[in-house]
Structure 1
């Protein structure tokens, strides 16, 4: 898809500039070593106007990601949120995906950056994995070892193994990959968190090998409000195969159900699952059709 054209603006270091005029630092660590941090937010067109969902949480996590890799971060979250809304306005967008990126300056050494820049882009983007139930497979590619990398940080270079896992799954005819941690248990999909349903409960892997998704936390908060029990526990491949149903969640993907895993089809009709109920509640939440502000 085309993310920008000659009329598209981005926010770059305090100014709105044409995306075509931004330029690229060919001597930056971000380009050569993947030394950068990013976020993904969604703006929704609601009856209150355009609203960015959980903007404060996303920009707070962006700062934590930069801190985790010793990348300078000197921006104010309130200002960045204000600029994100302004970016939507100059691009005439009401519903959009928003991508902030913090990247380093010129430096060919393997040392911490002394300076950093921020870019924010936005474009129209439907649910990342589409809206149909997914066919997924267990990947041979594992998540990074948490003892060697801060996996709770949303860091550019970390997503190379996600690209490899997702691409391999697509080559095999699947829609997405499930990845194991170093301990051999299911961790998550390439860029989404996983929930499975069994005996009227939801189960999700604990955070030791898992990215702490904001949508994951939102699902757990919705479940608390709906009196749905959520158990965080290590899940085997067999646990996922024997579940009644399953779904993935993330800002880009939102809530999306799984039809089959490794060729094993879930028998329960998706529309009658807990996941489908959460999917409907989540959509009402982001569109502000129901007021969950006291709860979430």
Structure 2
């Protein structure tokens, strides 16, 4: 599939029915457009099966609850809608985007309790999120923006508004020839990339930031389970930026990123080593099993 995302052939599931791609529209006074009252999920379908689809649907509903609204569809109904969208487009391998938001209604201000909650599910065929970095290792900038204190935002929600500084960080990174940016948290500890969690290797053991102020990704959780299953020690902890110089390998995890090696973060270099390649290959096998 090619072309701008608002001008393609295909079907999108929207508020209980499949609509033509170009007709999947919202009003300019949609509350989410003005006040970021929106949550979403990114998922991948492999060989006709969405990997951890139910977990994603549960998190979507939980994210909405954290933003003080309720999605008017059950997990089972959301799952059925995803597969209906995939079938309508004839896809067995695709990226799936479910999004719920407060729409246009009687309220147009910070409060929007009288506005309807809407749900849409789209998809597209998508290759490697970081292109050839999947093989060579991605190059990351270090962002000037930090992940906020969880007392200021619902950090456990996959909420659209929380990605504003991610977009700004990624734009700045791309301007420097990088694929992405590494972000610190509000305390100065290593946090995550703009849309992926991060892992490091040192002396055969794995270190990954403790997700106490950013999203604990489903792919992150899957990879930790895989590593432990291989008998590899995993340290979930606060990581100081100065420690980057002592790590040997690094990779990113996320539904879009899958498992992507990192070759450079700022002035720090990493090898695409045996453990990175092994976990990447093992993940590929798992999602297609």
Q: Which residue of structure 2 lines up, in the alignment, with residue 29 of structure 1? A: 31
Q: CA deviation at 1:89?
A: 1.1
Once the two structures are superposed, what CA deviation does each residue of 1:142-193 show, in whole Å capped at 9, x if it has no partner? 1122110011101111111100011111111211100011101110011100
* Equivalent residue pairs, number: 281
Q: Output the CA distance in 1 between the equivalents of 2:254 and 2:265.
A: 19
Alignment partner of 1:54 out of 52, 55, 60? 52
TM-score (ref. length: structure 2): 0.93
Give, in angstroms, the shift of residue 51 of structure 1. 0.7
8 Å Cα contact 1:136-1:175 kept in structure 2 = yes
Alpha-carbon shift at residue 4 of structure 1 (Å): 5.9
2:102 to 104, 125, 128: 104
Question: In structure 1, what is the Cα distance between the partners aligned to 2:163 and 2:19?
Answer: 27
1:6 is displaced (CA, Å) by 4.9
- In 1, Cα distance between equivalents of 2:190 and 2:42: 24
Preserved CA contact (<8 Å) 2:12 2:123: yes
Match of 1:76 among 74, 77, 86: 74
Asked if structure 2 preserves the Cα contact closer than 8 Å seen for 1:40 and 1:252, the reply is yes
SS in structure 2 of the partner of residue 216 of structure 1: helix
Q: Is the 8 A contact 1:180 1:188 kept in 2?
A: yes
Match of residue 63 from structure 1:
61
Alignment correspondent of 1:184? 188
Residues 211 and 78 of structure 1: CA distance in aligned 2, closer, same or farther (over 3 Å)? same
Give the deviation of 1:112 after TM superposition: 4.3
Runs of 4+ in 1 over 3 A off after TM superposition: 3-6
Which residues of structure 1 form unaligned runs of 5+?
A: 289-296
Deviation at 1:232, TM superposition (A): 0.7
Aligned pairs (5 A) from 1:235-246: 235-246=239-250
Q: Check conservation: 2:198, 2:209, Cα contact below 8 A.
A: yes
Let me know the Cα RMSD of the aligned residues.
1.4
**1:154 and 2:158 matched:** yes
Q: Note if contact 1:130-1:253 (Cα within 8 Å) is conserved in structure 2.
A: no
Q: Tell me how far 1:141 sits from its aligned partner.
A: 0.9
Aligned-partner Cα distance in 2 for 1:280–1:204: 19
Q: Secondary structure at the match of 1:260?
A: strand
Counterpart position of 1:89: 87
Q: Does 1:253 align with 2:266?
A: no
